[in-house]
Amino acid sequence: MNVEARLKHLGIELPPPPSPVGNYTAGTVVGNLVFMSGCGPRKPDNTSITGKVGTDLTTDQAYQAARLVGLNMLANVKSLIGDLDRVKKVVKVLGMVNAAPDFKEHPRVMNGFSDLMVAVFGEEAGRGGRSAVGMGSLPMQIAVEVEMILELK
């Protein structure tokens, strides 16, 4: 099943790709690698899911925010490379969680992103290396930001 068919089967419609909020591009292709810039949980109404996980947001709410980041990231990837079927492998994911100092469930939050990548690309292609780290703050107080490196076919 190709990626577009899998998205349809999962009932997922990708949002329009969010525009960068600074002086950078959404991603850069170098050879057969795609380096995606940090992406946040921007909603269709152009607002974002904000707040500190562990005080303002629960782990489950942050999981959903990370999933939303994944949808936005997929929209950016598709806009950059034209066809998601060109993705061979998720190589590396860096997940940054805007977390309270005593928050401990960063990996569970980032599963919102990673679970989506596995659902879309499959177990082998959708799972790569990953870091899930806590941050004292993120731009505009967004709850989660993710960077990703992909390998192209």
Amino acid in position 79? S
Split at pLDDT 50, 70, 90, the class of 128 is very high
Whether pLDDT at 139 is above 80: yes
pLDDT at 19 over 90: no
Contact call for residues 33 and 94 (beta carbons, < 8 A): no
Q: Helix, strand or coil for residue 86?
A: helix
| pTM confidence score | 0.96
Tokens encoding 112: 């919102």
pLDDT single digits (tens) 91-126: 999 999 999 999 999 999 999 999 999 999 999 999
pLDDT in tens, 50-97: 999 999 999 999 999 999 999 999 999 999 999 999 999 999 999 999
Report how far residue 148's alpha carbon sits from residue 77's, in angstroms, rounded to the nearest whole number. Answer: 10
**What pLDDT does 18 receive?**
86
Question: Could you tell me which residues are beta bridge partners of residue 96?
Answer: 133, 145
